[in-house]
Every structure is written in structure tokens, then in C-alpha cells.
Amino acid sequence: MDKLKDYVDYAGERALKTVAQVAIATIGVNAVGLLDVDWAQVVSVSALAGVMSLLTSVLQYNKAGE
């Protein structure tokens, strides 16, 4: 159970950082003003990046814990 908790902590932090980075990049590309940002696109792309990060964490977790 400790390994699962450690994985959730590792993967969750990694995914959150990825989501934030992608959101910043997406907003930065499209931002002219606050109301000009396509928020649906920002959320969609960021969420997909978060899912991809979680899936990548499954592959890399054992290497990080060694």
C-alpha cells in the first residue's frame, strides 16, 4: 500500500506540474487579452497533457524509485 501511495504522490505532482506548464504555454500563445483566451481549448489541451503525464508515470515510476 505504501508503494501505491508513493506512486500517487509522484504521479499526481508530475501531472499537476505538466497541466500548469501546458496551460501557461497555451495561454501564452493565444493571449491578447483575458477575454480573448479560448478557455475551453486551454482546459482541453491541459487535461490531455495531464492524462498523458499519468500514463508516462506508470512507465517511469520504478526507475524514479530506484
Residue 63: is its pLDDT beyond 90?
no
User: 4-61, pLDDT tens digit by residue?
Assistant: 888 889 899 999 999 999 999 888 766 677 777 888 999 999 999 999 999 998 887 6
Q: What distances in angstroms separate CA 10 from CA 13, 17, 50, 55, one per listed residue?
A: 5, 11, 13, 12
Please report the pLDDT score of residue 21 as a whole number: 96
pTM for this predicted structure: 0.78
| Residue type (1 letter), 34 | L
Q: Which three cell numbers stand for residue 12?
A: 499526481
Q: Which three cell numbers stand for residue 44?
A: 482541453
CA 33 – CA 8 distance, rounded (Å) = 36
